[in-house]
Chain A
Amino acid sequence: MTGQSAVLRALRKPRGTAPQGFGKTKRRDRWAAYPIVQGVLFTICATYLLVSGVIWEPLFHTGYEADGYLSPLFSPLILFPNMPSWLSPGLLILWIPIGFRATCYYYRKAYYRFYFADPPGCAVGEPTIHRRFALENAFPFILQNLHRYAMYLAFIPLFFLWIDVIRAFGNWDAAGVAHPRIGLGGVLFLVNTTLLTGYSLSCHSLRHVIGGRIDCFSCTRARRIRHTLWERLTDLNRNHMWWAWTSLVTVTLADLYVRLLVTGVLTDPAIRF
């Protein structure tokens, strides 16, 4: 026996007396309510966004831009010659936010509980098949360690979403003449993009990259500046879950609003200048 394996064996926890099996617990509160509400809301939003961004357009060709408002799922709009009819421009963008949210430290908590019951709740037994799961030590969940790259990429569509906000209020026509307005769509875009920015800036990986990896904050002037930034990001990070949920809901509503404009169900109420 090597020294290393002896130590590793000694460090394995001896078995306790916790009841094993899915849902086994002595908890009497409604422990299942929170993960179920979160999981259902997440599933509704994610399904809507996937259908709208990836499936709807190739099937029905209804359009994703109306009255100067481009759906946030399609921004920046990427079109190229001889684009296959089955390919939605949304797919060329959506993989970035999907990757960002799928590897997000907050969403992991929500979907590991709801979709994998790993665990279904705190101090609640889980399916015994989980016993030897390697979790984030092995494929596929080891890929969660690449969250920082998803975060870097997420700032690209975010930049274009801010341009869309400016366009929504400026309302430039094809000749480049502005027709300024304050429309409900513009307000919705502004709120959505602000919340998406908050969600991106409150990211745990960004907090780490900006200053979290530093041990001695006071050692140099540059590190002192990074410490200040790290503190600000830490303030945002405390509410990462809030940013995650509100931005997911508003991006869903923003796309739905544009879809309703496109189909003529709604007209954009606006103050025009």
Chain B
Amino acid sequence: MTEAHIAHLKVFRGEPGGATRYDEFDVPVEEGMVILDALHWIQGNAAPDLAVRWNCKAAKCGSCSGEVNGKPRLMCKTRISDLDLDEPITVEPMRSFPLVRDLVSDVSWNYEVNKSIQAFTPPAGLPQEEWRWQQQDIERVQEYRKCIECFLCQDVCHVLRNHETEKPFMGPRFLVRTAGLEMHPIDEGDRRGYLKDTGNIGYCNITKCCTEVCPEHIKITDNAIIPLKERVADEFYDPIQWAWRKLRGKPAAGAAGTPLPMLQGGSASDAPAAAKGDKPTSEG
């Protein structure tokens, strides 16, 4: 086998609280090989204790997210032949999240954020069999439903990665989910106050890194975040719309305080305005 068919991998190793290091491995390259294949080769031949999270190996489960040569990517979708084999290939876990071990990071915070979003809220008393909408109403939302929750967008978001913000920031993944709910044709929830005061959408400064890394090619910034920012501007920053609401006697969405949901481990008293119909996980 020639040198050209060997990939030199520098793999991040370590545990929380302990020293971290990069172990180097020479992996024989086969046609069509992806980074996850190389990690499996390492597990089978050189380091059986290497921790890596994976599941479908088809870019649909979102489990094998990591950073290859510093870029957040799905490891099952990153072909070794697309990388420069003259240089070592650096493989790391998602660095925006706490480390569990080696290439596995703790993404559980994301699920807590997910619980804080008011779930799908159809008209009260309308039986599910009577829900109706047209294709043109739902096309926009369908793009958001492609999300596989790999959390690469959360990983690359510089607000989550580098800023230690005073307030929480929900991150692009959950702005996408909220967009899907807000723009649903029969949803009656109003999450604009939540977006401004709890999700803190104002932390997003439109640098589009989330869009660049999305393996499902969701136009996160243009089609989800910016439309939500505009909806928040409608409600809280547009003086003409504010005056128009005043004239009509319509209260602002956030006027009575932002409804906050109950988090896991919290109590009802911690969340006095838990949204009706909240569900613990996304709808699929």
Contact = CB atoms under 8 A, between A and B. Distances in A.
Interface of A: 3-4, 6-8, 10-20, 25-29, 105, 108-109, 112-113, 118-119, 122-123, 125-126, 130-138, 141-142, 145-148, 204-205, 208, 212-213, 215-219, 224, 227, 237-238, 240
Task: Name the residue among B158, B170, B257, B270 with the largest chain A CB count within 10 angstroms.
Answer: B158
Contacts of A133: 163
A27 to B, nearest CB: 3
A217 B160 CA distance: 34
A191 B252 CA distance: 44
A82 B222 CA distance: 47
Contacts of B92: 26
Nearest to A208: B230
Contacts of A240: 222
B216 interface: no
Given A13-B96, A14-B106, 10 more contacts: A3-B272, A7-B270, A11-B168, A109-B207, A118-B205, A119-B158, A137-B200, A145-B233, A215-B183, A216-B133
Interface in B119-167: 133-134, 136-137, 155-156, 158-167
A126 B203 CA distance: 15
Contacts of B112: 10-11
Interface string B53-85: 000000000000001011110000000000010
B202 A28 contact: no
Contacts of B238: 145, 148
Interface of B: 20, 67, 69-72, 84, 87, 90, 92-99, 105-106, 109, 112-113, 116, 133-134, 136-137, 155-156, 158-171, 182-187, 198, 200, 202-209, 212-213, 221-222, 226-227, 229-234, 236-238, 257-258, 260-261, 263, 266, 269-272
B69 A28 contact: yes
18 contacts: A3-B271, A7-B198, A7-B263, A17-B20, A27-B70, A28-B84, A109-B208, A122-B213, A123-B70, A123-B71, A136-B203, A137-B200, A148-B230, A212-B227, A215-B183, A216-B133, A216-B137, A224-B136
Contacts of B164: 15, 131-132
Contacts of B134: 217-218
Nearest to A205: B230
Contacts of B269: 3
A122 B207 contact: yes
Contacts of A17: 20, 93, 95, 97-99, 105
Nearest to A230: B140
B203 A137 contact: yes
B198 A8 contact: yes
Task: Name the residue among A3, A131, A145, A219 with the largest chain B CB count within 10 angstroms.
Answer: A3
B207 A7 contact: no
A187 B186 CA distance: 49
A18 B272 CA distance: 36
A27 B71 contact: yes
Contacts of B234: 213
Nearest to B237: A145
Contacts of A123: 67, 70-72, 95, 155-156, 161, 209
Nearest to B261: A7
Contact of B237 (A146, A204, A215): A146
A135 B113 CA distance: 21
A63 to B, nearest CB: 39
Contact of B160 (A13, A25, A132, A205): A13
Contacts of A118: 158, 205, 207
A126 B162 contact: yes
Contacts of B261: 7
Task: Name the residue among A17, A119, A125, A205 with the largest chain B CB count within 10 angstroms.
Answer: A17
A136 B260 contact: no
Nearest to B84: A28
B280 to A, nearest CB: 14
Contact of B185 (A205, A212, A215): A215
Nearest to B230: A208
Contacts of A137: 167, 200, 202-203
A28 B70 CA distance: 7
A78 to B, nearest CB: 25
A122 B200 contact: no
Contact of B168 (A3, A8, A105, A204): A8
Contacts of B162: 18, 20, 119, 125-126, 130-131
Contact of B203 (A15, A119, A135, A237): A135
B137 A218 contact: yes
Contacts of B106: 14
